A and B are shown apart, each in its own frame.
Chain A
Amino acid sequence: MFRWSDLGDVNFGRPNLGQNVPVLVYRLLQYTLKNVLVDEFGSDKANEIFIRGGRLAGIHFCRNLLNKSLPLEGFLSNLQKTLKDNSIGILRVESADQDEMHFVLTVAEDLDCSGLPFENKTVCQYDEGFISGVMEEYTGGIFNAKEIDCWASGDRVCRFDVRKE
């Protein structure tokens, strides 16, 4: 079972190299792992595993780095700032219906997918899981985030439809 402490003390463990690695290295890990999972289990199962991984990451990210006591608007600002501060992506809220718990979000300069070619298919399964996990940890409900569009005018931007199930 994953624990936040499994990530180790990076400052202690990397006194010279520090916290940061190039995005390329992160993607090398993610996409090679995905490739093996697709080979082993097929793309549907691999995508499902990535969503589950992203969800787990989102839950622990929210639990450890976000302020869950804030009201929704403040929480979304907190999420936006934390994603930016950690160079994960530029989050923007297009709409937020608190009664229905339905949100439309975009992520630009995304750590996972910005700069990738368009291939008429969604690639952000990990992000879908991550966003769902964050909202689940914050609200206590079950969420489903789905990439519904992406575009590029320079950077690639992905749009997610996020709903409480």
Chain B
Amino acid sequence: MLEKNNEEILIAELIRNINDLLVGKIPKQVELDEKSNPLLNELRDCINQLVVFIKEIKECIIPLSQGNLKHIQISSDNYLASPFKALHSSLLHLTWQAAEVAKGDYTQRVDFMGDFSNAFNSMVVSLETNENLLKNKIAELKDAIDHISTLEGLLPVCAFCKKIRLEGTDPDTQKNWVNVEKYIEDRTKAHFSHGICPECLNKYYPE
């Protein structure tokens, strides 16, 4: 009679623990009762193990939901926690990949993560494309600035024919003096088209 009473107490404790789990509470472990039915003790062990596993999950999922990915420990035999381990692992991987992309490694790709893969991979391709466009634009501007800078400074020009002497060349050699059109065209993207201004028109074609 006493034994039956003990078993009923144990069953009541186990039911209470399961009910606690169902409402999100972590119950205490149920103590071993050597006198109880071995099957009941086995059930007690299973429920105690379930409590340990759910406690581990609860303790990891809150920091995980807050983005605290380090220091999350779930025991290797807690297979109940597999989806959370998978989520934790994926978040760690994505964090690492995002950090690599931030360092300029655009070879990073996310595989087999559904919509997230598409979004992440598209973002990396866009970043690389935009960076290349910017680099090209910067190179064009730098090239233009280089050309402009060659026209800065003091230009030695002939007082009569207006030819310009090439930088650093012998002033007594005629071939070192070039037309102003050639000088500018060689150093800029500007081109010349020839016309006649009204004053010169009157001077050279008086009729």
- List, sorted by A's number, 17 A–B pairs whose CB atoms are closer than 8 Å: A73-B100, A73-B105, A80-B111, A90-B111, A92-B90, A93-B93, A93-B96, A93-B97, A94-B93, A104-B92, A148-B76, A149-B76, A151-B81, A151-B85, A153-B85, A153-B86, A157-B89
Also in contact, A152 and B111, with CB within 8 A (given A92-B90, A96-B96): no
Least distance between B200 CB and chain A CB atoms (Å): 64
| A73–chain B nearest beta-carbon distance, Å | 5
Determine if A151 and B109 form an interchain contact, defined as CB atoms under 8 angstroms apart: no
Besides A118-B79, A150-B76, A157-B85, 15 new A-B residue pairs in contact (Cβ under 8 A), listed by A number: A74-B107, A77-B105, A80-B109, A81-B109, A84-B111, A90-B111, A92-B89, A93-B96, A94-B96, A106-B89, A108-B112, A148-B76, A151-B82, A151-B86, A153-B85
Classify the secondary structure of A's interface with B.
strand
Which bucket holds chain B's interface residue count? Answer: 20 to 34
Interface pair A94/B79, CB less than 8 Å apart: no
In the complex, what residues of A have CB within 8 A of residue B76's CB? 148-150
Could you say which interface size class chain A belongs to?
20 to 34
Q: How far is the CA of A96 from the CA of B77 in the complex (A)?
A: 25
| Inter-chain contact B83/A106, CB cutoff 8 Å | no
Report the separation of the CA atoms of residues A90 and B105 in the bound assembly, to the nearest whole angstrom: 20
Tell me if A159 is interfacial: C-beta within 8 Å of chain B.
yes
Interface residues of A (CB under 8 A from B): 73-74, 77-78, 80-81, 84, 90, 92-96, 104, 106, 108, 118, 120, 148-153, 157, 159
Contacts of A106 in B (CB 8 A): 89, 93
| Interchain CB contact under 8 A, A95 and B96 | yes
**What residues of chain A lie closer than 8 Å to B92, measured between beta carbons?**
94-95, 104
If over half of B's interface residues share one DSSP class (helix, strand or loop), that class is named, otherwise mixed; here it is helix
The CA-CA distance from A84 to B110 in the complex, in Å, is 12
Q: Which residues in window 21-71 of B have CB below 8 A to A?
A: none
Given contacts A84-B111, A149-B85, A152-B79, whether A73 and B103 have CB atoms under 8 Å apart is yes
| CA–CA, A21 and B199, complex, Å | 89
- Residues in chain B near residue A157, CB distance under 8 A: 85-86, 89
Residue of A nearest to B78 (CB): A151
A100 to chain B, nearest CB (A): 15
B108 in contact (CB, < 8 A): yes
A93 neighbours in B (Cβ, 8 Å): 93, 96-97
Complexed CA–CA distance, A56 and B76 (Å): 28
Specify which chain B residues have a CB less than 8 angstroms from the CB of A148 in the assembled complex: 76
Name the 3 nearest CB pairs between A and B, nearest first: A151-B82, A94-B92, A92-B93
